Amino acid sequence: MTPFPDFHGNQAVAASLRRMIERDRIPQTILLAGPEGVGKATLARRFAATLLGGEAKIEQDDMSLPENLERIGERDKLPSDKRAEDPLVFATHPDFLTFPPDGPLRQLSIQQMRLLKERAQFTPSRGKYRVFLIDHLDRANEQAANSLLKITEEPPDHLIIVSTAENFYDLLPTIRSRSLIFHLSTLPVEDMQAFAASRQWSHDDRRLRLACGSPGVAVAMDLEEWDKRRQRMLALLDVSSGQAKFSAWVKHSESISASKNEKLDYYIRILYSLLEDVLLLREGCPPARNPDLQAQLARIAGAVSFDWIRRFTARLDDLVEFSRRNIQKGIALDALAIELRR
């Protein structure tokens, strides 16, 4: 029997959280760290539902639900002062609140943390606990992080803060030191297959392969859009490796720059998967993520060195950080192509 219903993978972490509830020995600040889409926020909701009851209400705060995505998308169109006047929070269940990143840059704001501090003083509507989920705490700006630090110094006895982060080293050391940290990893093949079966995906091996062990990524993936973006990033690799003229990239760059809805993150994830396959092919192994592009990727693999792949990956790591700022995605990818082409 799994510790929490309909939760796949990372069962040791789930079991630890379940034991805390059973023994009623729950730390007031918990941090769930791990790659995107491995179930950090899902586990937080399952934990809260077991502790508080009202699972159906808590699940309405799932950020992947269409109505929640629509609400977040509508807020992206608002000016920053309007968003500041009405900080983003989801609170379908009276004792479970979710504070997700907000705005085009997907950051946690000082206004959200002030609202958290205000709501933290309210006693539970039933039972003895309230649970606040701070999703993607590593996307808190400096003011928000410092504000949260003050809250964690002396939280009310009834409050449990569960945070998630992809890279917990981005957090203030003092926040890390006050948290009980659990590390979640990507799921092995058998767990991903069990997840697919629970979703009644009968023939979707490609989706699982591209998700790289992250159920959340598999759910959110639009394969048609993925293929369009992948074709653009394949053109970027062709140009960067000297297999095509820079002019072959320009039309793709212009299209990416003109799109207001697409984020740099979408392209970075695809580039990582393509680079992984280039490295595998260079070492004589078959591609893991994009076998349908083996011929094109093999041509690139034969033209580049291991050091080129290493430098490309390092630049992508830099872009991950820059994507959280107001960086122009088209210009950023142009600069990447030019630098690596040299």
Question: What is the arithmetic mean of pLDDT over 267-289?
Answer: 94
Residue showing tokens 């929490």? 4
How far apart are alpha carbons 238 and 269 in whole angstroms?
A: 17
- Together in a domain, 72 and 126: yes
Tokens of 15: 């079991």
Q: For residue 231, give Cα distances in angstroms to 56, 236, 246, 249.
A: 40, 9, 15, 11
- Together in a domain, 244 and 175: no
Indicate the number of domains in the chain.
2
> In this structure, what are the phi and psi dihedrals at residue 299, rounded to the nearest 5 degrees?
-60, -45
Three-point CA angle 219, 222, 228, nearest 5°? 150
Q: What is the pLDDT of residues 102-145, one digit of tens each?
A: 988 889 999 999 999 999 999 999 889 999 999 999 999 889 99
- Together in a domain, 273 and 165: no
For residue 86, give the CATH number of its domain. 3.40.50.300
Question: What is the arithmetic mean of pLDDT over 298-303?
Answer: 95
Q: What single DSSP character describes residue 132?
A: E
How far apart are alpha carbons 117 and 120 in whole angstroms?
A: 5
Question: What is the arithmetic mean of pLDDT over 281-303?
Answer: 94
Question: What is the arithmetic mean of pLDDT over 31-44?
Answer: 95
Residue 39 maps to a domain: yes
- Together in a domain, 232 and 335: yes
Residue 198 maps to a domain: no
Tokens of 195: 């997840």
CA distance from start to end of the chain: 56
**pLDDT at residue 41 greater than cutoff 90:** yes
> In this structure, what are the phi and psi dihedrals at residue 108, rounded to the nearest 5 degrees?
-85, 130
Residue 119 maps to a domain: yes
Q: Is 325 exposed, middle or buried (0-12, 13-18, 19+ CB in 10 A)?
A: exposed
- Together in a domain, 148 and 226: no
- Together in a domain, 179 and 228: no
Q: What is the pLDDT of residues 227-250, one digit of tens each?
A: 999 999 999 999 999 998 988 999
Check if the beta carbon of residue 155 is closer than 8 Å to that of residue 131. no
Residues facing residue 130 across a β-bridge: 159
Q: Given 164, 185, 206, which residue is the final one in a domain?
A: 185
How far apart are alpha carbons 61 and 49 in whole angstroms?
A: 12
Question: What is the arithmetic mean of pLDDT over 3-29?
Answer: 93
- Together in a domain, 154 and 296: no
Q: What's the pTM? A: 0.89
Residue 203 maps to a domain: no
- Together in a domain, 158 and 63: yes
- Residue 288: give the domain boundaries: 222-341
